Structure 1
Amino acid sequence: MSTLIFLPGLAADADLWADQTRVLPHDLRWAVSLVHFRHPSIETMAAAVLREHHGPLALCGTSMGGMIALEVLRQAPGRITGLALLGSNARPESEAMRSLRSAAVLKFRAGRMREVIEPNVSLAFHADGAARPDLRARYWRFILSAGSEALARQNEAVMARPDARPHLGQIGCPTLVACGQNDLLTPPECSEEIAAAIPDAHLALIRRCGHMLTMERAPQINALLKDWIARWHRP
């Protein structure tokens, strides 16, 4: 039996998946991996996932978590039975984003975290989600819980991530690729590129949704994950 590993995005923790984990099949083994808080690079994070979880794995990653998932699959393709990538990106860092992240890292380490994060709320959420106090409170809770140094380290890991595109065509497990149609941080073309390169991948673009899919549009994401899990889960 496969174990489903949830991989949160930058700064996020298990709460990012709260709306999903409460509706999982009762006979499904699952865990939320927080390797992005404990290791310095996408490659070492992926290796830690493989060390810490034995046997066949299905991977569900959002944003940075999707980058880790792709690297796990590259390191051990024979162990991966399913792949779900939500609002993620297989490309290496662009020079424009590298410049923005580098400036943000300096501010994080100078104690100016709010200066970076406060404008980011409108980038992370569609206007519908940004208008919800409950979602904004959840977002701020995991950002503040992570702290400035973790934000700096994780941004550095994302800047140095490998180009996963050369390996996409070799992925043979059931694959779901989803993205908010209004995602400003990993625009839909990133997900469209991934889905086009992976044989038989299912692509879902979520209307009126930004980068925080699991929070903004939980019912739609839950329905997609239910169908995806049915493709690889064998009780």
Structure 2
Amino acid sequence: MTMSVSLIDDLAVLPGLMCDSRMFTQALPDALFVDGFYGGANSLPDMARYSLSRLPSRFAVLGHSMGGRVALEIIRMAPERVSALILSSTGVHPVQPNEAEKRFALLDIGRQQGIEALVDQWLPPMIAPDRRNDSDWFAPLKSMCVDAGLATYEAQMTALLSRPELDDLLPTVACPTLVMTGELDQWSPPAQHQAIAAAIPGASLHIVEGAGHMLPAEQPDMFGSVIQTWLAQTG
């Protein structure tokens, strides 16, 4: 974990599928990063326990994509430790029809052709169209996902396919909450986040124009600015 004193000194960042701190270092360089791909955990509750064991007694938490679901498991387990919640580019819905088949198809590509082939199939649709052909920008993002490795994809895929129900949890969230996503996020679209914000008492909603699912890397300045401003306003 990286730690330094700043406005967001107590913000813990939980990455999504195949991601680590490299997704966020430009946007939130002074946050606390829960790295290590959750220690290879293959369930969301175990990812939450892994994170809680590495975080201070009191913190704000940002969960991106799968990390948003981990953050909500932390709320379920230890709400008294969370001062503020930020859910970015995530979802709260149960497993969808054909979701398992699609995830296992990617796993088969990884097993047969290697992790790079899996990432080449999975990553581009996560990004806003005008970024996909920017090779200088895309290469580090791809490298991060390739470095995660096939075992991490399989463990995290397993976690997502056995994800706990969240409908009853959302109305109980008592801390200040910000919900945000990219305008062009096809995986976690704005309408999905409008519904999440509506289900959490007092939650704020922010949609970032021109960004896709990999919002923290696509629009790091805007992403960081929105979060720092919101945290300052919530005290």
On whether the aligned pair clears a TM of 0.5, the verdict is yes
Pairing partner for 1:109 from 104, 108, 111: 111
Q: Please give the secondary structure, in 1, of the residue aligned with 2:206.
A: strand
Residues 183-192 or 38-47, more deviating:
183-192
Matched, 1:174 2:176: yes
Determine the structure 2 residue equivalent to 1:199: 201
1:182-235, CA deviations, whole angstroms, 9 ceiling, x for partnerless residues? Answer: 1112222221111111111111111211101011111211111112221455xx
Supply the AA of the counterpart residue of 1:56: R
Supply the AA of the counterpart residue of 2:136: D
Cα pair 2:40 2:152 within 8 Å, conserved: no
Deviation at 1:119, TM superposition (A): 3.1
Pairing partner for 1:17 from 17, 24, 44: 24
Matched, 1:154 2:156: yes
1:121-178, CA deviations, whole angstroms, 9 ceiling, x for partnerless residues? Answer: 3311111221322321121111111111111211111111112221111112111111
Determine the structure 2 residue equivalent to 1:33: 34
Q: Please give the secondary structure, in 2, of the residue aligned with 1:184.
A: coil
C-alpha distance in 2, partners of 1:87/1:98? Answer: 20
- Output the aligned Cα RMSD: 1.9
1:183-194 to 2 correspondences below 5 Å? 183-194=185-196
Give the direction of change, closer, same or farther, for the CA distance of 1:51–1:122 in structure 2 (3 Å limit): closer
C-alpha distance in 1, partners of 2:165/2:194? Answer: 16
Q: Please give the secondary structure, in 2, of the residue aligned with 1:199.
A: coil
Structure 1 gap segments, 5+ residues each: 25-29
Determine the structure 2 residue equivalent to 1:93: 95
Cα pair 2:115 2:146 within 8 Å, conserved: no
Deviation at 1:111, TM superposition (A): 4.1
Supply the AA of the counterpart residue of 1:229: L
| TM-score, structure 1 normalization | 0.89
Residues 5-14 or 128-137, more deviating:
128-137
Cα pair 1:11 1:142 within 8 Å, conserved: yes
Determine the structure 1 residue equivalent to 2:215: 213
Cα pair 1:12 1:142 within 8 Å, conserved: yes
C-alpha distance in 2, partners of 1:55/1:231? Answer: 22
Supply the AA of the counterpart residue of 1:89: G
Supply the AA of the counterpart residue of 2:12: I
C-alpha distance in 1, partners of 2:38/2:110? Answer: 17
Determine the structure 2 residue equivalent to 1:27: none
Matched, 1:224 2:226: yes
Q: Please give the secondary structure, in 1, of the residue aligned with 2:138.
A: helix
Cα pair 1:37 1:154 within 8 Å, conserved: no
> How many residues were matched structurally?
227
Identity %: 28
Give the direction of change, closer, same or farther, for the CA distance of 1:104–1:116 in structure 2 (3 Å limit): same
C-alpha distance in 1, partners of 2:9/2:224? Answer: 19
C-alpha distance in 1, partners of 2:101/2:145? Answer: 21
Pairing partner for 1:83 from 82, 85, 89: 85
Determine the structure 2 residue equivalent to 1:140: 142
After the TM superposition, which segments of 4 or more aligned residues of structure 1 sit over 6 Å from their partners?
Answer: none
